[in-house]
Amino acid sequence: MRIAVAKEVQEGERRVALVPESVPQLVQTGHEVWIETGAGVGASCPDTAYEAAGAMIMTDDAQWGDIDILLKVAPPAERCGKPEIERLRPGAVLIGFLNPMGNVSMVQTLARHQMTAFSMEWIPRLSRAQNMDALSSQATVMGYKGALLAANALGKFLPMLTTAAGTVAPARVLVIGAGVAGLMAIATARRLGAVVEAFDIRPAVREEVQSLGAIFVGVELDEETATVGGYAKDVSVSSRQREQEVLHEHIQRADIVITTAQVPGKRAPLLVTDAMVAAATGFSDRRSRRRARRQLCRYGSGTRGDAAWCHHLGPLSCALVNARSC
């Protein structure tokens, strides 16, 4: 089979779907691996590294029609006036982070072209599928980097310091969501010496949060809050209001807020309101780690709040940081 790796055209996307180290595994099983020229440059994987691993560099657009399996990171886009899907032959296979629940038109186009698609973010959370859990690996990178960026932007030490000149109190970090990204953000902030609180509507994650040395902040809701697979579920309006009431109290004394909560396949609910930020007199910095479909807080990318003490650094995409680690 001819397995091709496309160069990502989405703005800011630096990741690549296949690294040179993985090429020999495919070549040794009899497949041809084609790499679109420059596909790995953003992730520090030059064409020469792929060639040394046994791949062929794809330079002619006409070769798209001969691809059996196309590997991508971002959903297919349009390039040179023609959608990437239409460049592939009918019956080809597309694998990547496709966001099918939020891109129905793309799914319909795939169906019209009789193509098979595998969306990496929908691989089930099973023991036998752990080595394919690319979503968790991306979330790990973002949780780690989000905590570091927030620490860098905060105008104070994170750990408690006791010196001859006096004592500096530790920074307080609130992490919203205790999934993979949230747990990594908690662990990173704790290693930096901060006092960490973690909010989640799923009581089952309390033990994981406390094992990392953080304080668990829960909320009692009169409905089921997790799916069979362990993901958080969307809740009713009244339950969401209860969440905001609990968060309001903890945000007021936080120096950093890292938002990671999500509902698979849906836009995340608004949890951090303008009123919360306005009332947070001790709020020095806010690190919102959001991806597409998320609306955990109202502030946009790189914006500053009405007061000089509120600085928003998100949304943070894995595409922009640690591309090689992804």
- Of 10, 22, 63, 136, which one is the catalytic site residue? 136
CA-atom Rg of the chain in angstroms: 22
Q: Which of 277-316 are b and which e, b meaning 16 or more Cβ less than 10 Å from the residue's Cβ?
A: beebeebbbbbbbbbeebebbebeeeeebeeebbbbbbbb
The pLDDT assigned to 290 comes to 38
Residue 211 and residue 85: Cα distance in Å, rounded? 46
Residue-averaged pLDDT of the chain: 84
The pLDDT assigned to 158 comes to 94
- Of 66, 133, 206, 298, which one is the catalytic site residue? 133
169-219 residue pLDDT tens: 999 999 999 999 999 999 999 999 999 999 998 888 999 999 999 999 988
- Of 44, 114, 130, 137, which one is the catalytic site residue? 130
Q: Where are the domains of the chain?
A: 2-123, 134-320
Residues 6 or more apart whose CB falls under 8 angstroms from that of 221 comprise 201, 235, 239, 242, 243
Question: What is the topology classification, in CATH, of domain 134-320?
Answer: Rossmann fold (3.40.50)
User: Is a pLDDT exceeding 60 seen at residue 315?
Assistant: no
pTM, 2 dp: 0.81
**2-123 and 134-320: same fold?**
yes
- Of 125, 240, 293, 298, which one is the catalytic site residue? 125
The pLDDT assigned to 129 comes to 84
Neighbouring C-beta atoms of residue 10, cutoff 10 Å: 15
- Of 231, 240, 293, 325, which one is the catalytic site residue? 231
For the chain, percent of residues with pLDDT exceeding 90 = 51
pLDDT bucket at 291, cuts 50 / 70 / 90: very low
Pairing between strand 256-259 and 172-176?
parallel
The pLDDT assigned to 326 comes to 54
The pLDDT assigned to 308 comes to 40
Q: Which has the closest alpha carbon to 15: 96, 90, 88?
A: 96
The pLDDT assigned to 312 comes to 62
Question: What is the topology classification, in CATH, of domain 2-123?
Answer: Rossmann fold (3.40.50)
Q: Which of 49-53, 78-82, 305-309 has the lowest mean pLDDT?
A: 305-309
| Coil, strand or helix at 240 | helix
pLDDT bucket at 130, cuts 50 / 70 / 90: confident
Asked about 231 being catalytic, the answer comes back as yes
Q: Which of 1-15, 197-211, 284-298 has the lowest mean pLDDT?
A: 284-298
Overall average pLDDT of the 276-300 stretch:
52
Asked about 125 being catalytic, the answer comes back as yes
User: Is a pLDDT exceeding 60 seen at residue 136?
Assistant: yes
Q: Which of 137-146, 232-241, 260-269, 313-322 has the lowest mean pLDDT?
A: 313-322
